[in-house]
Amino acid sequence: MIRLFRYLKPYLGYIVLVVALLFLQANADLALPDYMSKIVNTGIQQSGIADSVPQAIGGKSFDKLTLFLSPEEKEIVLSAYEAVEPSTEAYQNLLKDYSKAQGETIYILKKIDDGTRKTLDGLLGPALTTVAFIETASSDPVKAGTMAQGLGMDLSRIPAGMDLFSVLPMLPEAQRSTILTGIKTRVTGIDPSLTGQMGIQAVKREYERLGLDVTRVQTGYILRMGGLMLLLTLLSALATVTVGFLGARTAAGFARDLRANFFRKVESFSFAEFDKFSTASLITRSTNDITQMQMVTVMGLRMFFYAPIIGIGGVIRATGKASSMWWIIALAVAIILAVILTVFIFALPRFKSIQKLIDKLNLVVRENLSGMMVIRAFSMQGEEEKRFDKSNRDLTGTMLFINRIMVIMMPLMMLIMNLVSLLIIWTGAHEVAQSQIRIGDMMAFMQYAMQIFFAFIMLSIMFIILPRASVSGGRIAEVLETEPSIVDPHAPASLGEDFTGKVEFKNVSFRYPGASEDVLHGINFTAKPGQTTAIIGTTGSGKSTLVSLIPRFYDVSEGTIEVGGIDIRKVAQADLRKKIGFVPQKVSLFSGTIESNLLYANEKASSGEMDLALEISQAKEFVDAKPEGRGLEIAQGGINVSGGQRQRLTIARALVKQAPINIFDDSFSALDFKTDTKLRQALKSQLGNSVVFLVTQRVAAIKQADQILVMDEGRLVGVGTHHDLMETCEVYQDIALSQLKQEELA
């Protein structure tokens, strides 16, 4: 399959764009669980307050928290906030949001970067927590004592009702420093996540003290995060649609180019290559196999790139959310890989056999359709049904086996996925209870686990499809990489306008590719313009093989064939065949009209030239008898006209070409004696300046030929006229005496 990648080069731009879009889509999809986690953790549990950095602080609270900051830390905090005094106009605007802050200075957070915010969070979190403890100790000593005991703090020495915030500034500096250092040491020793939560709660209380509607803050945060999630979802959907469009366009173009190159390659094949590849196999390769490549391309462009990105990204983000549960993902991935490997082992051999089974089924169908009359004549419908049924059952059985594996695999994957979800919930619930992770992080971890799971499912589907596609790709590449045995020379000779058509065989021998011995041996003769050269011989003597060498359907094994004095191997095939009118032994008409079939030989032929060709071939009478005339529709294979009519139309098609060399390979076998005689007389009179080769089994038809070649077991055993051969050639005498009476031989 890799051998076909070069046909994707024209679509490299599309592929790069698809990869970029998939990267964008994967990042959007990976960001969604994180935003969902923020909605749960921050939006719901923290009322929309993300950290310990308040947007606004009242002057009273600001003075309290600065007691627990060093001069350097206090300077950092002061530089991040702007004090708005009650006497200013800006203060009146702030009162719309902070309605309870009457007469109190409000400190408003300036625009700061993420680094500064992180620094402030580290400073204000412990400070706000300390303030909260002391305020609680002053108002509710029992509750404060319980909270402090859990945190390892001793508040028993603080007298009930004492306002520590009033006392601290009045203490000597050394004593005040000792107390503050002790409190700060205790607070900073608490788990940072717990300190952060307590700081956030302190910020919430401060907002409520200032009269800010915390519910509106919470709703705004949830709507903002939800809006970002919606935006990311739309971005992912847009990327998905665009990837689908570009992937389909790339795959369709790739398949189109493969078919075009496949067809051009097959057209360049000689008979030797057609002997190697059966017609049924070539049809399967150009249709079903290329369709398989198209399907794997459109799926692979998405899955091959998207699955690794989402899988690796999911692992990184999941472990970032809950690193303690990494073993769950590792366990799930190991189980999935084991399932995929098992399926791969059982399904791969069957996938490799599918295309060969399709070939076999196509062969049976093609033989039945083309040989229907013979099958009916011998009443073999039952046997052919059995033959078809066997091929059909073989293919169906293989497909059912593969489908059963797929049917089992998908529910198994879903079962594993659901079990993993339960394991995450069970483990995560214990860690949430122990305050090791937060609920939103556990939910995000579950979402990432599902994304990782689906990434492996996508890869598993690709691994199942790939073997069949690989076989199809190899079969296509086998044809595309087959070099024709007959090729044009690098500098072909030209036959020129004054081409005479003289054909000379000089010691020609021929052997079929792969055969162990020659079928033609040392053939020598000359066919001159204006002469009819008839070829006769026993069945299998090499008559059709001999004339097939002239248009280079095969190349000679030894010797040379010259036309107009030039070796045909030195001439371009197209140039050579333009000079030859060929009527094959097997009649072939194309679907269309009679006229379109005639124009197949010469698309510039006039109406008069077509009528003349029909007249010479004795076809004009039955064509004119049709209401449509030359416009009569010819069905596929010409099945709506008789065998004799097909032969005459095929002869007319060759005559329209007006070629200097005409080859009729047993082309009059379906004609009655009267029509045969008229046709030969017309050919003699109309093709007077052409070289005419006439392969036949009828001695009566070639008695008037200028030259008769007698073939026997691949050898030329006689050359001459009818009278000469009757005297000198025993093989010809035997053939003639078997067909004609003594008085007819004269």
Domain with residue 303: its CATH number is 1.20.1560.10
Q: What torsion, rounded to 10 degrees, do the Cα atoms 703, 704, 706, 710 define?
A: -10
In a domain, 730, yes or no: yes
Q: Name the least confident of 497-501, 541-545, 597-601, 707-711.
A: 497-501
Position with higher pLDDT, 137 vs 457: 457
- Asked if 547 contacts 585 with a C-beta cutoff of 8 angstroms, the reply is no
Same domain, yes or no: 521 and 653? yes
Mean pLDDT of 359-366: 82
User: pLDDT tens, 460-516?
Assistant: 777 777 777 887 888 888 888 888 888 888 888 888 777 878 899 999 999 988 788
Pairing of strands 566-567, 691-695: unpaired
Is position 304 within any domain?
Answer: yes
**Tokens 């099958």 label which residue?**
375
Dihedral angle computed from the Cα positions of residues 40, 46, 51 and 53, in that order, rounded to the nearest 10 degrees: 150
Q: Which of 146-160, 317-331, 351-365 has the lowest mean pLDDT?
A: 146-160
**pLDDT score, position 153:** 45
Within a domain: residue 565?
yes
Asked whether residue 44 is domain-assigned, the answer is no
The arrangement of strands across the sheet holding 715-720 comes to 566-567, 558-563, 503-510, 520-527, 715-720, 707-712, 532-537, 691-695, 661-665, 580-583
CA–CA separation, 179 vs 525, rounded Å?
Answer: 125
Instruction: For residues 409-417, give the mean pLDDT.
Output: 81
**191-200, 370-379, 683-692, 706-715: segment of lowest average pLDDT:** 191-200
CA distances from 47 to 196, 213, 455, 458 (A): 14, 11, 35, 39
| Residues 6+ positions from 465 with CB-CB distance below 8 Å | 295, 296, 299
Among 212, 232, 259, give the residue marking a domain's end.
Answer: 212
Residue 195 confidence (pLDDT) above 70: no
Residue 41 is predicted with a pLDDT of 85
Is residue 550 scored above 80 in pLDDT?
yes
Q: Is residue 19 part of a domain?
A: no
Please report, as a single letter, which amino acid is at residue 200. I
Shared domain check, 461 and 527 = no
Identify the helix (H) or strand (E) that includes residue 607.
helix 607-616
Digit-coded pLDDT (tens) for 705-715: 889 999 998 99
Tell me, letter by letter, the H, E, C secondary structure of 368-390. HHHCHHHHHHCCCHHHHHHHHHH
147 — pLDDT class (breaks 50, 70, 90): very low
Query: Above pLDDT 90, what percent of the chain?
Result: 18
Q: Do residues 445 and 525 share a domain?
A: no
Same domain? 184 vs 328: no
pLDDT-based confidence at 181, cuts 50/70/90? low
pLDDT of residue 155: 47
Dihedral sign from CA coordinates of 141, 143, 146, 147: negative
Are 328 and 451 members of one domain?
yes
**Residues near 429 by Cβ (< 8 Å), separated by ≥ 6?**
442
The pLDDT tens digits of the residues spanning 365-395 come to: 877 877 777 787 778 888 888 888 888 888 8
Mean pLDDT of 424-434: 83
pLDDT per residue as tens digits for the range 276-305 = 887 778 888 888 889 888 988 888 888 888
Contact 134, 145 (CB under 8 A): no
Q: Which helix (H) or strand (E) holds 234?
A: helix 214-267
Q: Is residue 115 part of a domain?
A: yes
Indicate if the alpha-carbon torsion angle 642, 647, 652, 657 is positive or negative: positive
Which tops the pLDDT comparison, 628 or 136? 628
For 641, other C-beta atoms within 10 Å of its C-beta total 20
Q: Are residues 655 and 521 in the same domain?
A: yes
Q: Is 572 found in the same domain as 632?
A: yes
Asked which of 54-58, 191-195, 554-558, 563-567 is least confident by mean pLDDT, the reply is 191-195
Q: What is the DSSP letter of 493?
A: B
Of the residues 480, 495, 524, which one is the last residue of a structural domain? 480
Mean pLDDT of 2-10: 85
Higher pLDDT, 615 or 166: 615
Say what the pLDDT of residue 258 is. Answer: 92
Provide the strand spans (E) within 496-630: 503-510, 520-527, 532-537, 558-563, 566-567, 580-583, 592-593
Q: Is residue 664 part of a domain?
A: yes
Structural domain count of the chain:
3
pLDDT at 738: 85
Tell me the pLDDT band of 152, cut-offs 50, 70 and 90: very low
Q: What is the token pair recorded at 241?
A: 């649609």
Amino acid at 668: F
d(Cα 277, Cα 275) in Å, to the nearest integer? 6
Average pLDDT of the residues in 425-449: 83
In sign, the C-alpha dihedral spanning 232, 238, 242, 243 is positive
Considering the domain architecture, whether residues 530 and 459 belong to the same structural domain is answered as no
pLDDT at 456 > cutoff 60: yes
How confident is the model over 525-530, as a mean pLDDT? 91
98: confidence class by pLDDT, cuts 50, 70, 90:
confident
Asked if the structure places residue 195 within a domain, the reply is yes
* Average pLDDT score over residue span 348-374: 77
Q: What is the mean pLDDT of residues 246-274?
A: 89
Query: What CATH number does residue 626 fall under?
Result: 3.40.50.300
Structure tokens at 399: 């497909």
The sheet carrying 81-84 orders its strands as 56-58, 106-109, 81-84
β-partners of residue 509 are 558
Q: Say if residue 16's pLDDT is above 90.
A: yes
Query: Which residue is listed with tokens 């399907």?
Result: 295
How many other C-beta atoms are found inside a 10 Å radius of the C-beta of residue 301? Answer: 25
Q: What is the pLDDT of residues 227-240, one digit of tens each?
A: 999 999 999 999 99
Sorted by sequence, the CB contacts under 8 Å of residue 556 that are 6+ apart come out as 508, 509, 510, 549
Count CA within 13 A, CB hemisphere, residue 658.
10
Question: Percent of the chain having pLDDT more than 70?
Answer: 90
Token pair, residue 196, equals 């952060």
pLDDT value at residue 368: 83
Last residue of a domain, one of 174, 190, 212: 212
Tell me the average pLDDT of the chain: 83
Same domain membership, residue 155 and residue 111: yes
- Average pLDDT of 170-178? 61
Counting Cα atoms < 13 Å in the Cβ hemisphere of 572 gives 10
Note down the domain range covering 473.
269-480
Alpha-helical (H) ranges within 371-438 are 372-377, 381-433
pLDDT digits (tens, 9 = 90+) for 648-669: 888 888 888 888 899 988 887 7
Query: Which is more confident, 212 or 147?
Result: 212
Same domain for 539 and 399, yes or no, is: no
Average pLDDT over residues 133-143: 62
Do residues 149 and 196 share a domain? yes
Q: 490: buried, middle or exposed (CB in 10 Å: 19+, 13-18, 0-12)?
A: exposed
DSSP, residue by residue, 676-715: HHHHHHHHHHH-TTSEEEEE-S-STTSTT-SEEEEEETTE
Question: What local confidence, expressed as pLDDT, does residue 177 receive?
Answer: 62
Beta strands in 15-163 (DSSP E): 56-58, 81-84, 106-109
Q: Give the per-residue pLDDT at 190.
A: 53
Per-residue pLDDT averaged across 19-25, rounded? 93
For residues 139 and 281, state if they share a domain: no
What local confidence, expressed as pLDDT, does residue 737 receive?
A: 86
CA dist 390 and 372 (Å) reads 19
pLDDT band at 148 (very low <50, low <70, confident <90, very high): very low
CA 703 to chain centre: 63
Give this prediction's pTM: 0.73
